[in-house]
């Protein structure tokens, strides 16, 4: 982080510990210190200062060298370029066509995907250039509600829907499926809206195919409080705000709130 001082609540928010409003409550309660002194509303700190929450050092996330993005990925489109192009022209072209190649270079060239959908599917994806934040987000999404658009051949029977709601995979593990409801379609294809918690696209596809249904597409359209807005066209991205990131990490912020 640069030497430029920032409000302490912004530092706590960007560190993924709380929303700015929650951080302000912590400051009022005397739980935040700067270099050993109680912080006040309006207090500022720089990267050289030691900010602590309940005595624990807060690792300040860099404000200009990292960013987190919401991406609308088209089915079949690469999220990240191949790790080792090996000089192959086709792979090199695929790398240039990856979603991550459209992101700002001001925050670095290395990006990490958070619980990505299978390449055959798509929809809402998250990318970040912050490794520490990526680890926190990866843990957080396991407990977040998600919404998927599921396209299958023909209509699902009552028995198939019951099997999907049961959530049992071939491995014996169970997905937490909240609902599976028809949402339109035309011709031989039908769409269903599936609400689940901590799900991933690969397991959802496997779950539905386990019910002898022919799946042609799985799209993630919501993750926690994030939604795939109609204004964000396929292949486009937008940067997440500090408040949106804090919302995704809310469960972990709650753990920090009860720690000691």
Express each pLDDT in 197-231 by its tens digit: 999 999 999 999 999 999 999 999 999 999 999 89
- Per-residue pLDDT band for 129 (boundaries 50, 70, 90) equals confident
Bigger pLDDT: 255 or 15?
Answer: 15
Looking at the predicted structure, is the pLDDT value of residue 257 above 90? no
- Per-residue pLDDT band for 146 (boundaries 50, 70, 90) equals very high
Looking at the predicted structure, is the pLDDT value of residue 143 above 50? yes
Q: What residue has token string 């191949």?
A: 82
Q: What residue has token string 């086709």?
A: 90
Express each pLDDT in 31-65 by its tens digit: 999 999 999 998 999 878 999 999 999 877 655 45
Per the CB < 8 A criterion, the answer to whether 8 and 27 are in contact is yes
Instruction: HSE, CB side, 13 Å, CA atoms: give it for residue 36.
Output: 0
Express each pLDDT in 179-191 by its tens digit: 999 999 877 899 9
Per the CB < 8 A criterion, the answer to whether 122 and 205 are in contact is no
Per the CB < 8 A criterion, the answer to whether 213 and 156 are in contact is yes
What is the residue-averaged pLDDT of the chain? Answer: 84
Q: How far apart are the first and last CA of the chain?
A: 28
Query: Whole-structure pTM over 0.75, yes or no?
Result: no
Q: What residue has token string 């987000």?
A: 137
Express each pLDDT in 61-117 by its tens digit: 655 456 889 999 999 898 887 664 444 444 444 445 788 776 755 444 568 889 999
- Per-residue pLDDT band for 250 (boundaries 50, 70, 90) equals confident
Rounded-to-integer distance, Cα 68 and Cα 89, Å: 29
Tell how strand 68-73 and strand 237-239 pair up.
Answer: antiparallel
- pLDDT computed for residue 258 by the predictor: 40
Write the DSSP string, 55-85: TEEP-PPPSSS--EEEEEEPTT--SS--S--
6-63: CATH number: 3.10.290.10
E-strand ranges in the chain read 6-7, 32-34, 37-38, 44-45, 51-53, 56-57, 68-73, 112-114, 122-128, 145-153, 176-182, 189-197, 215-223, 226-227, 237-239
Rounded-to-integer distance, Cα 42 and Cα 140, Å: 29
Among residues 81, 120, 119, which one has the least CA distance to residue 98? 81
Question: CATH 3.40.50.300: does it fit domain 145-223?
Answer: no
- pLDDT computed for residue 91 by the predictor: 41
Write the DSSP string, 222-251: EETTEE--TTS-TT-EEEPPHHHHHHHTHH
CATH 3.30.2350.10 residue ranges in the chain?
A: 145-223
For residue 43 the two structure tokens come to: 């207090």
- pLDDT computed for residue 92 by the predictor: 42
Residues ≥6 apart with Cβ < 8 Å to 121? 75, 201, 205, 217, 218, 219, 220
Looking at the predicted structure, is the pLDDT value of residue 145 above 70? yes
> What Cα–Cα distance (Å) separates residue 142 from each residue in 79, 197, 205?
20, 7, 17
CATH 3.10.290.10 residue ranges in the chain?
A: 6-63
């Amino acid at each position: 982080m640069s030497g430029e001082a920032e409000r302490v609540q912004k530092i706590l928010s960007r560190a993924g510990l709380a929303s700015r409003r929650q951080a302000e409550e912590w400051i009022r309660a005397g739980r935040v210190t700067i270099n050993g002194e109680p912080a006040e509303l309006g207090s500022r700190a720089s990267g050289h200062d030691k900010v602590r929450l309940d005595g624990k050092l807060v690792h300040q996330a860099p404000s200009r060298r990292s960013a987190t993005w919401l991406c609308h990925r088209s089915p079949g489109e690469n999220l990240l370029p191949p790790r080792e192009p090996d000089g192959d022209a086709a792979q090199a072209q695929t790398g240039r066509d990856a979603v991550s190649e459209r992101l700002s270079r001001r925050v670095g060239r290395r990006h990490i995907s958070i619980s990505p959908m299978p390449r055959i599917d798509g929809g809402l994806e998250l990318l970040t250039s912050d490794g520490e934040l990526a680890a926190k987000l990866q843990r957080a999404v396991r407990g977040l509600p998600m919404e998927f658009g599921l396209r299958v051949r023909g209509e699902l029977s009552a028995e198939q829907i019951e099997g999907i709601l049961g959530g049992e995979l071939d491995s014996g593990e169970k997905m937490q499926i909240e609902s599976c409801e028809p949402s339109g379609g035309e011709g031989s294809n039908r769409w269903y809206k599936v609400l689940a918690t901590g799900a991933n696209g690969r397991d959802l596809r496997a779950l539905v195919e386990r019910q002898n249904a022919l799946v042609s597409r799985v799209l993630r359209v919501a993750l926690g409080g994030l939604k795939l807005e109609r204004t964000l066209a396929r292949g486009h991205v937008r940067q997440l705000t500090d408040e949106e990131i804090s919302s995704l990490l809310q469960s972990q912020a709650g753990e920090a709130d009860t720690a000691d």
